[in-house]
Amino acid sequence: MDDYIASKSSEKNIERYGLETTEEQIDLINKDVEGMPRKNHKRRLSNILEKIRMQNVIACEEINWYSEMAMDYQLNIPCSNELMLTDRNDKWMTKISKLLAEKNCFIAVGLSHLMYECGLINQLMELGYTVTPIKVK
């Protein structure tokens, strides 16, 4: 998805701004895994590998959510992962709010970053923005 969005923006000469670097992402993932029991980490990786092996995107529940726009953003539920969600979303909002003050923006992030009380949707609404989903064709 990232490569697709990047290629479309390049085709239309639209500027792209990263919310964090690849190095920052890798560092955060390593920190997140450090405290995780080995059994949980192994199970998480096994689930991801199984989805890849199946090569069947219909079996991936997230794809169905996206295609049907039937996501439950759980905006009243507290965030459970401070390192990977709350801290990152707060840091990103600093950049996002500055960009939105200057121009219209298309913001692409993973689904979890939109969800929960700490999500970007709630944070944008708290700043007075109206957030409206747009169906993707």
**What are the residue ranges spanned by the domains of the chain?**
15-126
Task: Write the DSSP symbol of residue 79.
Answer: P
Q: What digits encode the pLDDT tens for the residues 85-127?
A: 888 999 999 999 999 999 988 888 887 888 888 889 999 999 9
C-alpha 109/C-alpha 60 separation (Å) is 18
- Reported as a pLDDT band with limits 50, 70 and 90, residue 1 is low
Residue 128 has pLDDT above 90, yes or no: yes
Read off the tokens for 37: 């029991």
d(CA 132, CA 119): 15
Spatial distance between the Cα atoms of 70 and 62, rounded to a whole number of angstroms: 10
| pTM (predicted TM-score) | 0.70
Which sign does the torsion angle of CA 62, 66, 71, 77 carry? Answer: positive
pLDDT digits (tens, 9 = 90+) for 103-112: 988 888 887 8
Q: Higher-confidence residue: 122 or 38?
A: 122
